[in-house]
Chains A and B, each alone.
Chain A
Amino acid sequence: MISPRTLRNLRKELRSSALAKIGIVLVLAMILVAAFAPFIALHNPTNQDLDENTLPPMGFSRTTEETTSEMVNGSLQLTNETVYVNATASHPLGTNSLGQDVYSRAVYGARTSMMVGVLGTVLAAILGVSVGLVAGFYRGRIDDALMRFADVSLAFPSLVLAIALIGLWGRAAVDVPDPFVVFGLVDPVRSALGLPTGMPDSFVLPGTVIVVVGLVNWVWFARIARGEALSIREEEYVKAARALGASDARIIGRHVLPNATTPILVLATIQVAAIILLESSLSFLGFSGTTLSWGFDISQGRGYLSTAWWIATIPGIAIVLAVIGVNLVGDWLRDALDPGIEGEGGV
């Protein structure tokens, strides 16, 4: 389905656009980090070590007032002392208030963001594209009914809708075994590298969140797919296929959908970024089923912004890089695949 011409356009656009290169590097990095998190993380991201709480990142130090009490001449004397807490090499980006490694949590957070972003987009695309193709292909009352429903869904603020749905269904989460840990690949590698072992053997997939972001974002796909179906159904080759006895399902599957893939693909990349943001918002508000999420870490660090800025800032930077990277890739695809579209991309 990917023609040589498409590949040529992709390469050409990639060569001429520095932003596209940056986007690809960011996205590839995020995919690799998410996939190989157990090898890349320095610590088990959920391990607490209260002795090492709130350590600053490398190159920074934190001051804290330490009060010592002393009995001097029968009376209790309190001395306030400013103590410098220095970074340690084992926690290069510091620790949070529970002594969890901020870097390792950001690494594992990439998994949550990627899984929710990709699976949520796939779900939204399947729902939206099906609805849109049917609406655009059959037009008439079916179209009116489906699209009015879509408009109503769109009029509802997505975050509110997501929270309502999660409130309704609870925060179901699925434990997915981590294949690297299950097959015993992680510990030998980590020991060889001199890293602490005992990484989490499963990964929490926030099931409700995935379903919810899919249900919240399907409308965009429905609109694009409907528009494409409306124009493609008028093509002569659709009429020709019908004159040869093709069924509606065949026409939609063989003729309409394949010729509508480009805008759907471009939208899908941009939606991944939108869904990553939505997931972060939900976990920031505590509606996610997992605690290993950038949004959750930001909410944890919010109270310490004045004293320990890194707890919230590091996952914040991770979100920014992920969203920018995915959007740049989306722009690249749009420019390369559909030179006709001169629109505003992004979230």
Chain B
Amino acid sequence: MSDEILKVRDLTTRFFTEEGQVNAVEHVDFDVRDGEVFGIVGESGSGKSVTALSLIDLVETPGRIVEGEVWYRDADLAEEHRDSHPDAVDGDYVDVRQLPEATRRWLRGPAFATIFQDPMSSLNPSITVGEQIAEAVEVQRRARANPRRTRSRTQGYGLGRLLVDSVLPSQGYVSDESQERAVELLERVGIPDPEQRADEYPHEFSGGMLQRAMVAQALAGEPDVLIADEPTTALDVTIQAQILNLLTELQEEEDMSVVLITHNLGVIARMCQRVGVMYAGEVVERGSLEDVFENPVHPYTEGLLGSIPDVEDPAPRLSPIEGNVPSLLDAEMGDECYFADRCPKAMESCLTDIEEHEAPAATDDTDHLVRCILADREYDESEALGSAAKQEVISDD
């Protein structure tokens, strides 16, 4: 049995806006292995968060996942759908995107859980923290008790219940065990006085505590894959460290896989075993942390790493990457490498040829992939495009 819990293939998500088609995520491939932290790093607007939302199928209109496969390893689920959805099953893997909607929803929580960027707004202000976590526990407990995965997992939550609940906040749906489990989870993520805090509302929590509560809620379904979308961006530095420690600890104890999305290279270096670098909706370089960080091939990765201050060798000025992320509007995107106009090593053929190449392996690992022509050739300064020439070619499109 292979050790990948998740295999993402050719994932493409586009937004169909009034200004035109926006190619937010283009042909993204990556694998997430059992018990590893896979990092996705990139600038704002590089498609990191849309990738995360695409994994759990939560892209909102006008966005749509145009193509791609998300293979998730679940032998039982594969067996169950082998006959009814032959295209969606491959060995022990199921393609989440081809499963029926009810099953996809069933997977959210027990298979994939998500932590979002802003803990302050990720909990409903009108329900106590404990109740929200208990409800997540209950939903997922019921999901397990309904292994057919065919009918709505919110059975027993019909219109009548809804009307009653909206008038009288009821404990009827949530069992006592789920309430207790919620308190356990709060304790688990390091919230002091969990029993008392469970009865408090989100506005009574600090940002760090709320993010802990969010983690507790994500753990409610004992997920195989935890997707953390910029989990520490909204927090101050000391709290960031605490949350990252917590995630590391929980990931090891629960043996989860984590997809960690961030723009912070320091966080990636500290947390991840493998990493993918995104630029303009594409994964431009991916491989093990050592490969990517110590032996970067793509000039963009080099540029990102070059713009981090080095404590040992403080440079008088950091070297940022010139320019901005290109527009992702389809009409404005040409055939050239999207990084070509900012790339210090751009060459003539960069403007036509952007196939994915396998890089010379820096370690034994042959998983180091780079979307750049430099992957299998050396940089030759004589072929370099001057910045004027680059501008000209780009604006010709």
Pick from B69-77, B134-142, B245-253, B366-374 the stretch touching chain A. Answer: B134-142
A-B contact pairs, 22 of them (CB 8 A): A1-B126, A236-B118, A239-B116, A239-B122, A240-B122, A240-B217, A242-B58, A243-B113, A244-B108, A244-B114, A244-B139, A244-B218, A244-B220, A245-B107, A245-B108, A245-B140, A250-B157, A252-B162, A253-B163, A255-B124, A258-B166, A261-B166
Q: In the docked arrangement, what's the CA distance between A237 and B10, Å? A: 29
A3 at the B interface (CB under 8 A)? yes
A249 to B123, Cβ gap below 8 A? no
B154 touching A246, Cβ below 8 Å: yes
Find out whether the CB atom of B61 lies under 8 angstroms from the CB atom of A139: yes
CA of A244 to CA of B218 in the docked complex: distance in angstroms?
A: 7
B153 CB-CB contact with A under 8 Å: yes
Does A161 sit at the interface, judged by CB under 8 A? no
Interface residues of A in 224-265 (CB under 8 A from B): 235-237, 239-247, 249-250, 252-255, 257-259, 261
Could you say which of B114, B126, B152 contacts A243, with CB atoms under 8 Å apart? B114
Q: Decide yes or no: A245 and B217 within 8 Å by CB, A139-B61, A239-B58 being known contacts.
A: no
Q: Which residue of B is nearest A261, CB measured?
A: B166
Restricting to A284-334, which residues have a CB under 8 Å from any CB of B?
A: none
> Min CB distance, A239 to chain B, in Å?
7
Render B91-117 as a binary contact track against A, CB cut-off 8 A, 1 for contact.
000000000000001111110111011
Report chain A residues within 8 Å CB of B109: 244-245
CB–CB A247/B217 < 8 A: no
Whether A253 contacts B58 by the Cβ 8 Å rule is: no
B residues within 8 A CB of A240?
114, 116, 122-123, 214, 217
Contact indicator B136/A244 (Cβ below 8 Å): yes
- Given A240-B116, A240-B214: A249 touches B136 (CB 8 Å cut-off): no
B169 at the interface (CB under 8 A from A): yes
Given A140-B61, A246-B154, A249-B157: A237 and B105 interface contact (C-beta under 8 Å): no
Tell me the B131-163 residues at the A interface (CB within 8 Å).
135-136, 139-140, 143, 152-154, 157-159, 161-163
B6 part of interface (Cβ distance < 8 Å) = no
> What are the interface flags for B307-342 relative to A under an 8 Å C-beta threshold, 1 for contact and 0 otherwise?
000000000000000000000000000000000000
Distance in angstroms between the alpha carbons of A255 and B116 in the assembled complex: 17
Q: Does B66 sit at the interface, judged by CB under 8 A?
A: no
Q: Which B residues lie at the A interface, using CB under 8 A?
A: 56, 58, 61, 105-110, 112-114, 116-118, 121-127, 135-136, 139-140, 143, 152-154, 157-159, 161-163, 165-169, 201, 214, 217-218, 220-221
Given A237-B124, A239-B116, A245-B108, 17 more pairs with CB closer than 8 A: A236-B117, A236-B118, A236-B121, A237-B125, A240-B122, A240-B214, A240-B217, A241-B124, A243-B56, A244-B113, A245-B140, A245-B143, A252-B162, A254-B127, A254-B135, A254-B162, A259-B125
Min CB distance, B30 to chain A, in Å?
A: 20
Give bound CA distance, A104 to B201, whole Å: 50
Whether the pair B124, A259 counts as a contact (CB closer than 8 A) is yes
* Interface bin, chain A: 20 to 34
Interface string of A143-177 (1 = CB under 8 A from B): 00000000000000000000000000000000000
- Residues of chain A lying within 8 A (CB to CB) of residue B56: 243
Q: How far is the CB of A51 from chain B (nearest CB, A)?
A: 52
Give A259 to B154 CA distance when docked, in angstroms: 21
Q: How far is the CA of A243 from the CA of B153 in the complex (A)?
A: 14
User: Which residues of chain B are within 8 angstroms of A247 by Cβ–Cβ distance?
Assistant: 105, 152-154, 157
Give the distance in Å from the alpha carbon of A73 to the alpha carbon of B159 in the complex: 89
The listed residue (A1, A245, A250, A259) touching B221 by CB distance below 8 A is A245
Chain B residue numbers with a CB within 8 Å of A245 are 105-110, 139-140, 143, 153, 221
User: Considering the chains assembled together, what is the distance between the CA atoms of A259 and B203 in angstroms?
Assistant: 14
Query: In the complex, what distance in Å separates the CA atom of A242 from the CA atom of B143?
Result: 14
- Residue among B107, B121, B168 with the most chain A CB within 10 A? B121
Which A residues lie within 8 Å of B158 (CB)?
249
Nearest-neighbour CB distance to chain B for A139, whole angstroms, equals: 7
Complex Cα–Cα for A219 and B140 (A) = 38
Q: Which single member of B122, B124, B217, B221 contacts A254 (CB below 8 Å)?
A: B124
Whether B139 contacts A258 by the Cβ 8 Å rule is no
- Determine if A236 and B221 form an interchain contact, defined as CB atoms under 8 angstroms apart: no
Most chain B CB atoms below 10 A, which of A237, A243, A258: A243
8 closest A-B pairs by CB: A253-B162, A245-B108, A243-B114, A236-B121, A245-B109, A236-B122, A247-B154, A240-B122
Contact of A253 among B117, B121, B165, B201 (CB under 8 A): B165
Of B121, B124, B154, which is in contact with the most chain A CB atoms at under 10 Å from its CB? B124
Would you call B154 and A250 a contact (CB within 8 A)? yes
Chain B residue at minimum C-beta to C-beta distance from A140: B61
A244 touches B124 (CB 8 A): no
